[in-house]
Structure 1
């Protein structure tokens, strides 16, 4: 398949689809105080709705994304987004937290359009442009995270926490309809049985050193990233700041700068390879931790620290992800490779989300910042450790 099969307008529409799909994972984050109050559960318990979505997403990546190599992309994407729409509607009418957690897990399970689109686009793009296209798609995902958090906070504050779920259902259905018209006809890469496809990610992790590195880097950084965003409403709506949910959601606007940085990171990766970009991003993630920790000071000083820390963390996480994706697509633009990578990434994200809520509740915000530094330090240590076969790795 050639690069001409994806025009610029199609890439932009695919980026929009990535944004809507990814927003379904993140828009519940600022809603946890509202969910806790309405369903009469503790704040850290209400955070299970966010964690369930992320664990569901990790499951969807493992179970459903490999079908991108087995089924035509158009049919697969439309089917998954339609089921995600139904799951969002179920979450919107959930009468209790257990029901909401189950519906949230189903939302995460089926809203896996972004990694499928990423592999498809890489297969339709010339090798020297994969970084730039990946950066554009990732920029769309960031936009979804950004607008999802902000819109959810505003809608939730005015109309209740159920309104954002209803709005997300409508948007997801509209995207499914658009993709039914514009996604190119693609030929499946394999005719293997589904069970055989599911079994491939583990051997790929064992046999592909470049894939293992990308998985480790993203899982570690994503853990700290999710810990911060899951715990942030608890800090900002608590006694230190006493902000409203609407004000908390405004912090999502910080991610706007990342939408500019990821395409730039993609072009840098195309020119110099992923390793230098990873190095800078890992150091930047560690540097964000002490800045975030100063948020415990409260007042204007604390808010400025949180803003700068989140900005640095967002830029380094997303730019590092662009480098990681380009590294694995250089092996081949394969959904099974992407499955291994994204499964590891969102296991890290889900674990970080759970740990963040737990640490913030028991030890306070500085413990969350410490987690950011520790997880990134693990990845940086691996990055700086010489390996015998390092020369042969992309």
Structure 2
């Protein structure tokens, strides 16, 4: 295994020393706002189908497009954090996201909405620039807590975006969702420019070599491969159920409006609590334990969700357990991956999160097929198989790493 030396600028290193609570809160809020851009469409899928004359599979493709765009941004943009000045990179991506949201806000048809969604997702990986940025600013003994805190903001953004999206669409139509978020992203860019310290880690590589070195990490780091696989399968299951949920709740026996469907995002609010707890457990050396609880919890949640096709209490219980398990698992995975090579943290994050969102894109694509062919039962079967795969990979990782 080769190690690339890290070269930092002394002045910028001094500016970046330490991470106060105010800055940590701002970075947490910024990650949440950025990642929310990828989830606004979830409660609106049935509305897109009606207003833009899209079929069910085409409407679901909007979610798939977001995952593909985000995955491409993770691979092609996030590694730049090991090459460029990180504050400029993060702020620039926030501004591009704001502009891309305007494309969606003015979309006259499904094709333009799809293009705006891909562009927004591609640039919204600013969230994944900020997570390793915060990890780099944190003291080593507090890194798990800091990552957990920033991930709490990210996860709250992903969850509450559905609620906000549904509410705003009821008040002013679905385009209002995109107009409001574009303004908020531009305002956050200004705040980050004023608050973030200048920090640059020069990997000493050209951009093509940087991308190549990111991909080579999969070959050089066995733990990254295991964790990327676990993350991809878990996110495929998690993302898939939220796509199917919009169709389930819009039809009998539920028949809910977009605002009511959006409120379902609130059931996952416990997930960020799990993320914070998982970060603290990881600081104490409990990442493997958190991984085990997370993978088994995801698998168990599908037993409850199977009963949720016609029963709201079972549906709520299953979604809560799924959110707690998946988001605790995500933080455990990130803490394990970040510890592998501190000098390549942005590239490790890019490699790991790209795998997650490739899994998410596959999950949203597969769930549209499962829904069309098997309804909610097909969705539950798909989620059970994917979650069982996470348990299998975790057990295999434990067995291999103990040798």
> Is the shorter-chain TM-score for this pair beyond 0.5, marking a shared fold?
yes
Matched, 1:118 2:131: yes
TM-score (norm 2): 0.93
Q: In 1, are the aligned partners of 2:105 and 2:175 still within 8 Å (CA)?
A: yes
Q: Is the 8 A contact 2:271 2:327 kept in 1?
A: yes
Segments of 4+ moved more than 3 angstroms = 1-4, 386-389
Provide, for residues 117-164 of structure 1, a one-character-per-residue CA deviation record: whole Å limited to 9, x for no partner: 111111121222111111101100111122211010011122111110
Inter-partner Cα distance in structure 2 for 1:307 and 1:90: 35
Contact 2:18 2:139 in 1 (8 A): no
1:101 Cα offset (Å): 0.5
Match of 2:380 in 1: 369
- With over 3 angstroms needed to count, the CA separation of the structure-2 counterparts of 1:282 and 1:386, relative to structure 1, is closer
- Does 2:20 match 1:11? no
Where structure 2 has 5 or more consecutive residues not aligned to the other structure, the ranges are 1-12
In structure 2, distance between residues paired with 1:43 and 1:154 = 22
C-alpha deviations, 1:247-267, integer Å up to 9, x for none? 111100112212222111111
8 Å contact kept, 1:285–1:372: no
Instruction: Return the match for 1:79 from 87, 92, 108.
Output: 92
What is the aligned length?
Answer: 388
Distance 2:72 2:216 in 1: 18
Alpha-carbon offset, residue 202 of structure 1? 2.1
2:327 to 318, 322, 337: 318
In 2: Cα distance, 1:162 partner to 1:238 partner? 23
Residue 341 (structure 1) aligned to one of 347, 352, 359: 352
Equivalent residue number for residue 56 of structure 2: 43
Residue segments in structure 1 that go unaligned for 5+ positions in a row: none
Deviation of 1:189 (Å): 3.0
Matched with 2:75 is 62
Residues 251-330 of structure 1: pairs in structure 2 closer than 5 A: 251-296=264-309, 298=310, 302-330=311-339
SS of match in other structure, 2:339: helix
**Number of the residue aligned with 2:9:** none
Counterpart Cα distance in 2 of 1:294 and 1:378: 22
Tell whether the 8 Å contact from 1:34 to 1:156 is kept in structure 2 after alignment. Answer: no
* 1:25 has 2:38 as partner: yes
- Contact map agreement 2:91 2:192 (CA 8 A) in 1: yes
Q: Distance in 1 between matches of 2:334 and 2:248?
A: 32
More moved, 55-64 vs 352-361: 352-361
2:230 is matched with 217
Alpha-carbon distance, 1:386 to partner = 6.2
TM-score by length of 1: 0.95
Contact 2:226 2:397 in 1 (8 A): no
**Aligned alpha-carbon RMSD (Å):** 1.5
Which deviates more, 9-18 or 378-387? 378-387
Tell which deviates more after alignment, 338-347 or 168-177: 168-177
What is the aligned partner in structure 2 of residue 138 from structure 1?
Answer: 151
3-state SS in 2 of match to 1:25:
coil
